[in-house]
Amino acid sequence: MFRLALRADRLPGPAGRLGALAGAVLAAGAVTLLGALLFLAPTMREIVLLFGINAILVVGFQVFVGNTGIVSFGHVAFMAVGAYAGGVAAIPMFDKELVLPDLPGPLASVEVGFVPALLIGGAAAALVALLTGPALMRLSGAAASIATLGLLIIVTNVLAQATPFTRGPQSLFGVPENTTFTGVFATLAVAVALSALFKWSGAGLRARAVRDQPTAAESAGVSVLRSRLWAFALSAFVTGVAGALYAQLLTAFSPASFYIAQLVLVIAMAIVGGIGGISGALLGAAVITVLNELLRRVETGVSVAGTEIHAPTGISSAVLGVALIVMLRWRPHGLLGSAELQFEGRAAARTEPEEARPAPEEAPETVGRTTGASRADDG
């Protein structure tokens, strides 16, 4: 018999790892079911697709931030790289001659389908992460966060100046509209599975060890740079795939599409759900997407009991800011924190891991001797 549980850690052994992975996939399935119900309404279809892409973005963000503890302000840069790399690769060759006439010959002759475009977008973003990571991942705390913001600014400016490849600051158009409900939520399931596999692997454990006790981890032989770099590259890959999905949904975009507004949205979703867990990332994406959509509809006007209600323009951004302040004040770890939805056997659930059991109480005389020794040491 099995049961569902929310746990910050997983049970030991292969069964615990499998239960943690199954729980993450179940959480993705619940999000997919919610999306499928909303997708039945024709007016909600584009919003559902954006919701699924945002969920992939937040999961990719969580891979790095949740495991390393470094808050990245530059992850939208990987989304931009993935969108341009996957979008340019997907544009039909005939359209490339019109849209990007100065594109180098080898790139001008490339035309790929939906899935290869996603892989190209993810690979390009991961390559940027591997090239910039050795410099960025040597930093910690606020310095690392500010450096990632610098990465976002640099990537945005490079895309705006690389006219033969991106049309510069003008919108790149002609990308085929290949993004579908099945494509988005199948990609979300794969992204969640990759994130869970990394989190409960040795690489994820080393990344969290560096996050919690960097000096102790390094003295035990764990490379701080390498442990962070693996998380950075995988996170960039997932985020780049989301960017390629976004490109094939919008079909036209510019470097300005991947800047501060998108960054704030991703961070808000992560904070509301819980920046330390995959389940929290999915919950935060659902809550913020639904809240944003309701407020935007109120901005454009809704009829309630025959009364037309119009909210001031920008109320959605204001409420989002208030929600962030409230969460950071009264629940700084988010709705779920680091807890993950997991399957566990009932017998295993009753048997706590050895390290989780409380230590047996010492005999009074032992406590007395220990206390005396401690006082002597203090003296």
Distance from C-alpha of 229 to C-alpha of 70, rounded to nearest angstrom = 12
Say what the pLDDT of residue 305 is.
Answer: 64
The DSSP line for 161-198 is H-HHHH-TTSPB--------HHHHHHHHHHHHHHHHHH
Q: Are 248 and 117 in contact (CB under 8 A)?
A: yes
Say what the pLDDT of residue 359 is.
Answer: 44
Distance from C-alpha of 234 to C-alpha of 125, rounded to nearest angstrom = 9
73: which 2 tokens? 């302000």
Residue with tokens 């006082």: 375
Residue 370 burial (C-beta neighbours within 10 Å; 0-12, 13-18, 19+): exposed
Percent of residues in the chain assigned helix, strand, coil, to nearest 5: 70, 5, 25
Say what the pLDDT of residue 236 is.
Answer: 96
β-strand pairing of 2-7 with 340-345: antiparallel
Say what the pLDDT of residue 367 is.
Answer: 40
Q: Are 258 and 78 in contact (CB under 8 A)?
A: no
The DSSP line for 219-256 is HTT--HHHHHHHHHHHHHHHHHHHHHHHHHHHS-B-GG
pLDDT digits (tens, 9 = 90+) for 306-359: 677 777 777 778 888 888 888 888 888 888 888 888 887 665 545 444 444 444
User: SS3 of 5, please?
Assistant: strand
Residue type at 351 in one-letter notation: T
87: which 2 tokens? 């979008």
- Sequence-distant (6+) residues with CB within 8 A of 7 are 339, 340, 342, 344
- H or E element in which residue 304 lies: strand 302-304
Backbone angles phi, psi at 341, to 5 degrees: -70, 125
261: which 2 tokens? 């507004």
Q: Which residues of the chain have pLDDT under 50?
A: 349, 351-379
Exposure class string for 227-260: b at 16+ Cβ within 10 A, else e? bbbbbbbbbbbbbbbbbbbbbbbbbebbbebbbe
Q: What angle do CA 347, 350, 356 make, to 5 degrees?
A: 130
Q: Is 324 left (phi over 0), alpha (psi -120 to 50) or beta?
A: alpha
Query: Rounded to whole angstroms, what are the CA distances from 4 to 1, 27, 103, 341, 342?
Result: 11, 11, 53, 7, 6
Give residue limits of the domains in the chain: 41-258, 268-335
First vs last Cα of the chain: how many Å apart? Answer: 56
Q: Are 281 and 55 in contact (CB under 8 A)?
A: yes
Closest C-alpha to 71, from 139, 162, 163: 139
Distance of CA 292 to the CA centre of its chain: 19
Say what the pLDDT of residue 364 is.
Answer: 42
Say what the pLDDT of residue 65 is.
Answer: 94
Beta bridge partners of 304: 307
Query: Rounded to whole angstroms, what are the CA distances from 242 to 61, 256, 307, 339, 352?
Result: 11, 17, 40, 24, 38
